[in-house]
């Protein structure tokens, strides 16, 4: 059993080792993502991120200016990638804390474990991650799918 | 004429929220997106100086917006600066004597909005 498990973190007992190793070795961009579905031992927690997936459906309806201050509507690509990530996280047994639209058409997925958190940000033309540790300085970078297992491992360590 | 906001002051920042509050975190706290810059901000994040405005006025429509407050000293500790920028000014015809801006943010920096959100607290109207 992994330490520091709460309602917002991974159900570690449902994550298989093969999911970690297979993905990190074979996936390095968004192209072949569908292939990993067949390599992951999908745990039986189909509704873990259903709230967030439903929110994405609602965010699809947002139009430019949705926040009354000129925010851009979420881009199709951001919505598609965020939806895919939420389902992938679900297959890992990783609960998302929240998903929210941003002013530049981005979608943010927020993952939390006590005082640590990760934000995954999907824009129309790029994706970024930010790691917020409990004590040291945060770190940001370009997000690539092959980073996901390591990011989740860091969050739940 | 802009002047630095007092170290001891607090700042208000509002964020769009529906009645279901789905644009905020499930616990009612601000997401980093509330403090994210947009292109039209030109690097200046708009806030209100708490000592110069009532919360109810700052939030505008409480059915559409939530209000968050953050200590100016917390903003300055992030190596940002704050300046009182009463409206109207050269860029805006709006009237808001409490308007101020947070300076020093970079639109490509995703860390700062997250830190500001985590330092902020919700103001219940």
B94 in helix, strand or coil?
coil
Residue A44: Cβ-neighbour burial (10 angstroms; 0-12, 13-18, 19+): exposed
What is the pTM for the complete model shown? 0.84
Residue B125 near residue B67 (C-beta atoms within 8 A): yes
pLDDT, block means (10 residues), chain A with 157 residues: 39 41 38 41 71 95 94 97 95 94 98 97 97 96 96 96
Binary contact (B36, A68; C-beta < 8 A):
no
Task: Return the pLDDT at A81.
Answer: 97
Task: Return the pLDDT at B89.
Answer: 92
Residue A45 near residue A53 (C-beta atoms within 8 A): no
Residue A110 near residue A98 (C-beta atoms within 8 A): yes
Task: Return the pLDDT at A47.
Answer: 87
Contact status of B29 with chain A (Cβ, < 8 Å) = no
CA distance B48 to chain A (A): 16
| Bridge partners of residue B69, in order along the sequence | B12, B121
What is the residue-averaged pLDDT of chain B?
A: 95
Share of chain B above pLDDT 70, in %: 99
Task: Return the pLDDT at A123.
Answer: 97
What's the average model confidence in pLDDT over B19-42? Answer: 92
What is the residue-averaged pLDDT of chain A?
A: 80
Contact status of B38 with chain A (Cβ, < 8 Å) = yes
Share of chain B above pLDDT 90, in %: 90
**Cα–Cα distance for residue pair A155/A110, rounded to 1 Å:** 11
């Amino acid at each position: 059993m992994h330490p520091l498990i709460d309602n917002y973190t991974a159900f570690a007992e449902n994550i298989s080792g093969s999911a970690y190793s297979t993905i990190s070795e074979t996936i390095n961009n968004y192209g072949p993502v569908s292939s990993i579905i067949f390599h992951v031992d999908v745990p039986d927690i189909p509704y873990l991120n259903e709230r967030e997936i439903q929110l994405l459906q609602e965010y699809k309806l947002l139009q430019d200016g949705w926040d009354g201050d000129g925010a851009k509507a979420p881009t199709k690509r951001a919505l598609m990638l965020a939806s895919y990530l939420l389902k992938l996280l679900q297959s890992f047994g990783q609960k998302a804390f929240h998903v929210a639209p941003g002013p530049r058409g981005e979608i943010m997925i927020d993952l939390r474990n006590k005082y640590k958190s990760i934000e995954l940000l999907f824009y129309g033309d790029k994706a970024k991650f930010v790691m917020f540790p409990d004590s040291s300085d945060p770190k940001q970078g370009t997000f690539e799918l092959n980073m996901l297992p390591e990011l989740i491992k860091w969050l739940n360590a | 004429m802009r002047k630095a906001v007092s170290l001891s002051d607090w700042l208000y920042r509002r964020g769009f929220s529906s009645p279901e509050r789905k644009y905020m975190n499930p616990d009612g706290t601000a997401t980093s997106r509330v403090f994210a810059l947009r292109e039209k901000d030109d690097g200046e994040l708009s806030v209100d100086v708490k000592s110069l405005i009532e919360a109810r006025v700052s939030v505008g429509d409480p059915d559409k917006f939530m209000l968050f407050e953050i200590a100016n000293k917390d903003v300055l500790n992030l190596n940002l600066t704050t300046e009182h920028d009463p409206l109207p000014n050269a860029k805006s015809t709006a009237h808001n004597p409490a308007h101020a801006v947070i300076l020093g943010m970079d639109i490509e920096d995703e860390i700062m909005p997250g830190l500001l959100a985590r330092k902020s607290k919700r103001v219940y109207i």
